[in-house]
Amino acid sequence: MKKIVLVLAVLALAVPAMAGVTVTAAQDGATNVVKVSYNAPDGNIPRAFALDVTMSPANGTTLAPYGFNPNFYVAPGTFSYDPCTAVTVWGNPIVGPNTVKFTTEMGSLWDACDVNHPSQPPSSGTLFSFTVDKNCTISLAENAQRGGVVMENTAVTFPPGYVTLVNGIVTGQAPPDCLYVGRVFSGTVITTLTITQAHIDRWVTLGKPNCWCCDAQKRGNGVYLPSSTSLKVDALDLAKVKNSAQWLQSLGSAGYNANPCCDTNLSAKIDAIDLARIKNSANWLQTVGAGSGCP
């Protein structure tokens, strides 16, 4: 009996403790931001995450995750390496974002010899964040086709249920601003513009002008008529941009009151980029409509 007990004790020491990995979706305080985080308390850290995120009810804007954890910088589905140029593209962690569901894939290739990624990721942290525009339930699921949650330690067989996904509920969040990090303005006749924190900072400095939330403004329509539903890019917009009081001026400068609605790329400066957007044949004299966020 003593020998059996001794053998069992030795085996218990050889098998790592398995507290399990938890991936959680949770509202960030009282905001409209959702954070998806992971926790691996027993030190068995995941190598990669492929997660489906579903919002119910659907949100009213096209959502895109942002703020990805830099420790998990590889997206296997879109990773590429060109042996001729030695250029590595780590890939896009966002897969098919829309108002109902999106998928993320993100992995780690840390190595002690890698100058940029020499250390193993920590045992816990935020994987990514995204913004919602109404109360909703956030459901997480492993995307089996893309590997789900893959553990780094391949010498251990992890039991079923080792990875736990915790859904989140977003309630009573602060009303979202019409302009937020990750919002995408896109279309066949405008240059795609993805909102960054720098854009938000400029917007706040300028007093959050409503027109910066407007699709039509990105096409060159900076002169708005009250209650107009048929906004057109025309000579009024051209004249406003080329006016010497605004041309090549930086918005927000002391004593300067330029019209921020003429800044079509949200750079906080009226310049040739804004002029070119107006004069583009796909925009010039075209009716661009009021659209969401227009004054």
Residue boundaries of the structural domains of the chain: 2-170, 184-279
Print pLDDT tens along the chain (295 aa). 444 434 333 334 444 556 799 999 999 988 888 999 999 999 999 999 999 999 998 887 667 788 899 999 999 888 898 889 888 889 999 888 888 899 999 999 999 999 989 999 999 999 999 988 888 999 999 999 999 999 999 899 999 999 999 999 998 877 777 888 777 776 555 667 888 888 888 888 888 888 888 777 887 777 765 445 557 777 777 777 777 667 777 776 544 566 788 888 888 888 888 788 877 777 777 777 655 445 5
Neighbours of 20 (CB within 10 A): 16
**Single pTM value for the model:** 0.67
The number of residues making up the chain comes to 295
Provide the H-helix boundaries in the chain: 2-14, 197-205, 235-242, 272-279
Q: Return d(Cα 1, Cα 212) in angstroms, integer.
A: 77
- Helix (H, G, I), strand (E, B), or coil: what is residue 292? coil
**DSSP helix/strand/coil, 295:** coil
CA nearest neighbour of 174 among 31, 28, 27: 31
Burial of 231 from C-beta contacts in 10 A (0-12 / 13-18 / 19+): buried
Q: Which amino acid is at 9?
A: A
CATH-assigned architecture of domain 2-170 = Sandwich (2.60)
User: Rounded to an integer, what distance in angstroms lies between the CA atom of residue 147 and that of residue 71?
Assistant: 18
